[in-house]
Chains A and B, each alone.
Chain A
Amino acid sequence: MVFIKDAKKEFLDQIINKRVLVFVHLDVDALCSWKILQHLLHCEHILYSVIPINSKQALEDAYNQHKQVANNIILINCGATLDLVEILQPPEETIFYLIDSLRPLEVRNVYNGIQIKIIVLQNELGIEQKLVPEYEDIFDEEEENDEENEEEEDGDENLDEEEPERNRSKRKRFDPEYLEKMHAKREWESKRSKILFEYYKYTYHRCSSSLVLFDLAWKSAKDNNDLLWWSIIGLTEQLINCKIDRDIYTRYVVELNSHVLRHNHRPAVNALGTSNTNPAPDDVSINCLKISHLDDLNMVLLRHWSILESIYHSIDLACLFKMWTNKGKKKLNEFLADLGLPLNECKQKFAYMDSSFKNDFKMLVASENIKEKYRYDENFIYLSTFIASFGYTNKLTAFDMAYAVEALMENVDGEKNLSDKFIEALNCLNRENLKALECGIETAKNHLKKIYQQIQNFIDMNQIVASGPFLQVFLEEGSNENPFFSQIFTSKKLARFALQSYLALTKGKKVRNMPLIVCIPLNESNTLIAGVPPYRATNNTENCFGLAFDEAAEKTKSRVNFSYFDTSIIEINNEDKSKFLDALVAVMQ
């Protein structure tokens, strides 16, 4: 198997003094991992070239342009689910190092020990190995040779050779031993296809790449507070985009908390053990990064908005109060009144609110009678996260930063190409660049408002319909926001918000377990279709649409382009759309 057991020895030490080519996928987790990896590469003065990519085609093009640069190629959050050796056709000395949170890994990648190496968290190594099917179940050595012989049509073989083989096979057909072997082979093949079907059925995510790289940095004793903060942001993004469940998230938070405590330890008393006459809580410079654990409220961008706006745009709370109806708005006002907050205070920015109200707010939200009246529990309203403070600016939670960076990456205003967005988002992650951070948060607010507006439209015009085993919603053609909604993560966010809001407003039992697809027109000829799994309390991260789209496309021979690494997002030609959707209904039943 190709999983690296000791990342430091088999990865870092191998690339010292060599040149490296790095491909970074455009998502927050990959960006944070890149920052951590960049730090490690700088420590060892390893020369590199880095290229941001968005889609499979971009990976191919970029690889062809730069392949002579280096023999060691690192791919972050891209490529592990593709058969790299076949698609990129690398020369023999090239080694690929994959750091990816997306599963399932392509089996050909896992069993190619020579050119591919996959880096995962050390303590999850056993689990990862078990997830991949056994070698014997998928690959048959004899089988491979036979297959290769049959597939070779390069003209290497003479026509004469084929003739005697056919005669041989004719003779063999009536041989009982041969018949048994064929029977066994057919059984093996059916078992194999079943195993592969089960393996590729669901796409899901495991540990974030930034956490893997932080672990590597820690084991090489090169970790510091900045790297820790970036890995926290990477983990947070996984929760925002529903790549992992709450309990898995909490587990990783606990793990990271131990690192946080280690790096942010402040002695309360001085070395002699006597307390100071003037207790100075921080005897480090004000510009240092200080991280601490926090059980924060589940309200998006709370510190940068007013309470009212923050509640409006958080998915969970908006669906709890059914914010699109008038009744819902009244219920929200009642909720705020119960908490003892005057309405004009709630409309002010959170940072400028009266401090007594702020403190009361956090406590009262968790009080028993409020929770009973509005029917939510502690886990719903509180979210375990980390908060950072540096300099004289406001404190930032990991969620704020994740939203800001993602907003900058998915921003369609102003014609920026991939590289510009990449550099902007990276600037935002730098602590010194406060302007970029503010810009990111403003952009995030705009994006959330647009999504909310679109959901309001959906609900007002009843555009979310159940068609067969899943829910469907179409966006109008020619709308200005379509380019914005057709970004990878925004389309999924829209779909999830639509699903949750629909479930909040309808009462049918059948729709409880339905997934949802959203169709966004890209231009005159193409449409983007994104699918999200059904909303469940736990285990709502496994997405079955990859395989479903593939089967439906094959059945109807539609012109479908699986352009992104996430197989639940496809681009389809408008003419094939309706027959594709019909086939999809049939496939998923």
Chain B
Amino acid sequence: MLCQKSFELIKQLDSNFSNAHELSPFNEDNVRYTFEECKTLFAQNQIDVQPVLQGDNSNLPTIQMRHAALQRNKRCLLTYVYTRMNWVASLRFELATVVAPKHIKANMSDLEVVWFQKYSKTLANYMKSLSQATQTNSGYIYPIDLTQYTKPPKSLFIHVRCLKDYGEFELSDGHTVSLVKDSQHYLLASDVQDLIKQGILEHID
């Protein structure tokens, strides 16, 4: 059956993102197979289109069907790559890290990894340019971080509990906190937001 493998890619996407919120490994095999299929179909069409140019329309349905298959493959592939790309981009905001965690990175293809790095860099440049615009007369630049405060903050300081051993963590005023499992601290919300998002700290009321 035509376009089976590309459809499998889409099915995989659907089950992953709607239920598991996790990236599955990049399905190199299916993608390559689809490329091959497209090449074959295109080559076949090139042959069959010659009589049509000379006025013989008997091959027309065949060409149309093959063309439909080609377009379907293209759509599936593009959707696969596009959806994964969006997910990787949102990773930067969801986990607020510049480096993707190991278990997620293992599932990304090399190009996706490079893309993520470039995206982070672009985002950083953008944020820097926004910060520059806030420069006051005295030269103070207010750093803007778009990945922080995705929800309006309710308090300046929060009480957190450590869920995993993290080690030493440096606060914005230079002091260090040792984040041992099950220790509780009262810290500036802006410092610890990233760690809460990553699941290392837990916010306690």
The answer on direct contact between A and B (beta carbons under 8 Å) is yes
* Residues of the B chain whose Cβ atoms lie less than 8 Å from the Cβ of A42: 157, 186
Q: CB-CB contacts of A27-45 with B at 8 A, as 1s and 0s?
A: 0000000000010011001
Bound form: Cα–Cα A65–B181 in Å: 11
A69 and B184 within 8 A (CB) = no
Task: Enumerate A42-62 residues with CB–CB distance to B below 8 Å.
Answer: 42, 45-51
A68-B176, A69-B177 given; A49·B182 CB < 8 A = no
Task: Please name the residue on chain A nearest to B179 by beta carbon.
Answer: A49
Given A69-B176, A423-B204, check contact A45 B185 (CB 8 Å). no
Q: Do A19 and B175 touch (CB < 8 A)? A: yes
- Known pairs A49-B177, A423-B204; A417 contacts B182 (CB<8 A): yes
Contact call A68/B178, Cβ cutoff below 8 A = yes
Measured CB to CB, the closest approach of chain B to A62, in angstroms, equals: 8
A70's nearest neighbour on chain B, judged by CB, is: B175
Asked if A66 lies at the interface with its beta carbon under 8 angstroms from chain B, I say yes
* Chain B: interface residue total (CB-CB under 8 A): 18
Shortest C-beta distance, A24 to chain B (Å), equals: 10
B168-191 with Cβ < 8 A to chain A? 175-178, 180, 182-188
Q: Does A224 contact B (CB under 8 A)?
A: no
Q: Considering the chains assembled together, what is the distance between the CA atoms of A146 and B204 in angstroms?
A: 54
Which B143-163 residues have C-beta < 8 A from chain A? 156-157, 159, 161
**Which residues of the partner chain B approach A50 to less than 8 Å between Cβ atoms?**
184-186
Query: Within the complex, which residue of A19, A46, A49 is in contact with B183, where a contact is CB–CB below 8 Å?
Result: A49
* Chain A CB within 10 Å, residue with most, of B156, B161, B178, B184: B184
**In the complex, how many angstroms separate the beta carbon of A432 from the nearest chain B beta carbon?**
9
A49 touches B175 (CB 8 A): no
Q: List chain B residues, Cβ under 8 A from A48.
A: 185-186
A220 on the B face (CB < 8 A): no
Q: Please state if A69 and B161 are interface contacts (CB–CB under 8 Å).
A: no
A264 located at the interface, meaning its Cβ lies under 8 Å from any Cβ of chain B in the complex: no
B178 and A41: CB pair below 8 A?
no
A258 at the interface (CB under 8 A from B): no
Asked if A45 contacts B157 (CB within 8 A), the reply is yes
**Residue in contact with A47 in the complex, picked from B161, B176, B186, B204, CB distance below 8 Å:** B186
Between A and B, 28 residue pairs with Cβ closer than 8 Å are A19-B175, A41-B186, A42-B157, A42-B186, A45-B157, A47-B157, A47-B188, A48-B186, A49-B177, A49-B183, A49-B184, A49-B186, A50-B184, A50-B185, A51-B184, A65-B178, A66-B178, A66-B180, A68-B176, A69-B175, A69-B178, A419-B182, A419-B183, A419-B184, A420-B182, A423-B161, A423-B204, A430-B205
Best-buried of B159, B185, B186 by chain A (most CB within 10 Å): B186
Binding site for B on A (CB under 8 A): 19, 38, 41-42, 45-51, 65-66, 68-69, 417-420, 423, 430
Residue of A with least CB distance to B168: A68
In the complex formed, the residue of A with least CB distance to B155 is A42
Set of chain A residues within 8 Å of B156, measured between Cβ atoms = 45
CA distance A430 to B205 in the complex (A): 10
For A46, give the chain B residue with the smallest CB separation.
B186
Which residues of chain B are near A68, meaning CB under 8 Å?
A: 176, 178
**Complex formed: what's the CA distance from A134 to B184 in Å?**
40
Q: How far is the CA of A45 from the CA of B185 in the complex (A)?
A: 12
CB of A65 to closest CB in B, whole Å: 6
Distance between Cα atoms of A430 and B184 in the complex (Å): 17
Q: How far does the alpha carbon of A430 sit from the alpha carbon of B93 in the complex, in Å?
A: 34
Complex: how many Å from CA A68 to CA B169?
12
Q: For the complex, what is the distance from the CA of A423 to the CA of B159, rounded to whole Å?
A: 12
Cα-based distance from A41 to B159 in the complex (angstroms): 11
Cβ-defined partner of A419 (8 Å) among B161, B177, B186? B161
Taking the closest CB of chain B, its distance from the CB of A120, in whole angstroms, is 26
Q: Tell me, rounded to whole Å, the shortest Cβ–Cβ distance linking B134 to chain A.
A: 25
What string of 1s and 0s marks CB contacts (under 8 Å) between B44-64 and chain A? 000000000000000000000
What distance in Å separates the Cβ of A91 from its nearest Cβ neighbour in chain B?
A: 16
Closest Cβ–Cβ distance, residue B151 to chain A (whole Å): 20
CB distance from A57 to the nearest CB of B (A): 16
B131 to chain A, nearest CB (A): 26
Told that A49-B183, A69-B177, A419-B183 touch, could you supply 19 new A-B pairs with CB distance under 8 A?
Answer: A41-B186, A42-B186, A45-B156, A46-B186, A47-B157, A47-B185, A47-B186, A47-B187, A48-B185, A50-B185, A66-B178, A68-B176, A69-B175, A69-B176, A69-B178, A418-B182, A419-B161, A419-B182, A419-B184
Most-contacted residue by chain B among A42, A49, A51 (CB, 10 A): A49
Task: Give chain A nearest CB distance to B167 CB in angstroms.
Answer: 11
A433 to chain B, nearest CB (A): 9
Q: What are the residues of chain A within 8 A of B175 when measuring CB–CB?
A: 19, 69
Q: Which residue of A lies closest to B159 (CB)?
A: A38
Which of chain A's residues has its CB closest to B184's CB?
A50
Decide: B180 and A65 in contact? CB cutoff 8 A.
yes
B123–chain A nearest beta-carbon distance, Å: 30
User: B106 → chain A, closest Cβ, in Å?
Assistant: 32
Contact B183 A66 (CB under 8 A): yes
A420 to B181, CA, bound (A): 11
**How many angstroms from the CA of A139 to the CA of B175 in the assembled complex?**
39
* Of A41, A47, A418, A419, most B-chain CB atoms within 10 Å: A47
The residue on A at minimum CB distance from B188 is A47
With A65-B178, A66-B178, A423-B204: A49-B185 Cβ-Cβ less than 8 Å: yes
Q: How far is the CA of A59 from the CA of B182 in the complex (A)?
A: 15
CA distance A417 to B188 in the complex (A): 27
Contacts of A419 in B (CB 8 A): 161, 182-184
Contacts of A38 in B (CB 8 A): 159
Q: In the complex, what residues of B have CB within 8 A of residue A423's CB?
A: 161, 184, 204
Q: How far is the CA of A419 from the CA of B164 in the complex (A)?
A: 13
Query: Which residues of chain A are near B157, meaning CB under 8 Å?
Result: 42, 45, 47
A378–chain B nearest beta-carbon distance, Å: 43
* Chain B: minimal CB distance from A108 (Å): 28
CA distance A513 to B70 in the complex (A): 99
* B contact residues around A49 at 8 Å (CB): 177, 183-186
